[in-house]
Amino acid sequence: MNIPFARVPMAGNEMKYLGEVLESGWLTTASKASTLEKKFAAYVEAPFACAVNSGTSALHLGLESLGVRPGDKVFVPSMTFTASAEVIRYLQADPVFLDTEFGSNLISPEILESAIKKHPEVRFLIVVHYGGQAAKMFADNQESITAICKKNNIRILEDAAHAFPGKIGDKMVGSYGEATCFSFYANKTITTGEGGMLTTTNEAIYHRVKQMRLHGIDRDVWNRYTDQKPSWEYDVKAPGFKYNMPDVNAALGLAQLEKAEVFRKERQRVAEYYFDNLVKLTDAIDLPLIHIPFQDHAWHLFPIVLKEHTSPGRNEFIAKMAEAGIGTSVHYKPLHRMSYYKEKYSLNPVDFPNTERTWHGNVSLPIFPFLKKEELDYICKTMTLILKK
């Protein structure tokens, strides 16, 4: 068997919509990108959506529009991809790294409360909905991240690169926040090759993001060429960026969006299979900690953690899985162990006990639509052979 870590499902209207773009003669941002914005906004029940050329661009524009300025400090988990934190540095602000809950890799209300006590000056928080499970943004009769931030005058940016489509109670991720950022990178839950989306409930943020994604120009450039009335003139309001999403990419996104729930259900089936078949290995591994109903989870990742005493260790386990033809990955090597952040901010692993425990043994198993039952069987049997003494 040869089972890759990720396999992109591509069997819908991708070719058709792509053909329409090629025939239109206009390859960059135009009607496909704006249709994707409308359909995506409707899907996640957001008032406003802005398509961009990557999840990282969405994060950068989101922080900029929330008002992060040089010298500001921004809370961000250490257990995330570097993009979540690098955008803080783009704005010459500084990350304050947080530990996360063991098992879910999420920031919890308790972790946030104690971080605020230590760093009362911090005015911004980046929440990462790790693996596709939303953090506790809302909770009945309990502390929630949103309530704590409101009380402490902290503005929230959500990194939802893993969390489409995801839910918290009756709210879609993307429907309630000031700046929620999605990624359509090649291995994400839906893909445009490269691409991203920012959704917001705040109209001022929407206008700022729209302007800054295209050079700080005060309106859509493509309207200049397609409008009926002659309109060659535009104004530049700020030194913006070049972050617009080309229609070539948006065409793929439209086709993928049509299958988002089919894909999500397929990933949920894989997750359920792992839970059912890996419980017998829980002497050797920790399974992911899930706080929400399975159907509210986007299931981008299925991360397990090899226990401290488990032999073989993580690196050897990954090598043995690869020998058996099974691709795995690690999400993530924490940012406090990356030389740039470690050296610049003098970070010490003892300040991240849960993240360290995770990092000691974390491995992500294959989880993607149409992963076959025989393949899942083979993955679980191989793991049993490797881990059972």
Nearest CB to ligand PLP, comparing residues 132 and 361: 132
CB of 90 to ligand PLP, least distance (A): 13
Angle between helices 14-24 and 247-257 in degrees, nearest 10: 150
CB of 301 to ligand PLP, least distance (A): 9
CB of 159 to ligand PLP, least distance (A): 5
Nearest CB to ligand PLP, comparing residues 195 and 375: 195
* Collapsed DSSP state (helix, strand, coil) of residue 334: coil
CB of 160 to ligand PLP, least distance (A): 9
Nearest CB to ligand PLP, comparing residues 111 and 128: 128
* Collapsed DSSP state (helix, strand, coil) of residue 285: strand
Binding site for ligand PLP (CB under 6 A): 54-56, 80-81, 83-84, 128, 159, 161-162, 183, 185, 196
Amino acid letter for position 146: T
Nearest CB to ligand PLP, comparing residues 185 and 206: 185
CA torsion sign for 165, 168, 172, 175 is negative
CB of 95 to ligand PLP, least distance (A): 13
What pairs with residue 197 in β-bridges?
A: 51, 182
Nearest CB to ligand PLP, comparing residues 30 and 87: 87
CB of 30 to ligand PLP, least distance (A): 21
Residue nearest to ligand PLP (CB): 55
Nearest CB to ligand PLP, comparing residues 243 and 273: 243
Buried b (16+ CB within 10 A) or exposed e, 215-246: bebeebebeeeeeeeeeeeeeeeeebbebbbb
Any alpha helices (H) in the chain, and if so which ranges? 14-24, 31-44, 55-66, 82-90, 109-118, 145-151, 203-212, 221-226, 247-257, 260-278, 314-323, 339-344, 353-361, 373-387
Phi/psi for 382 (5° steps) reads: -60, -45
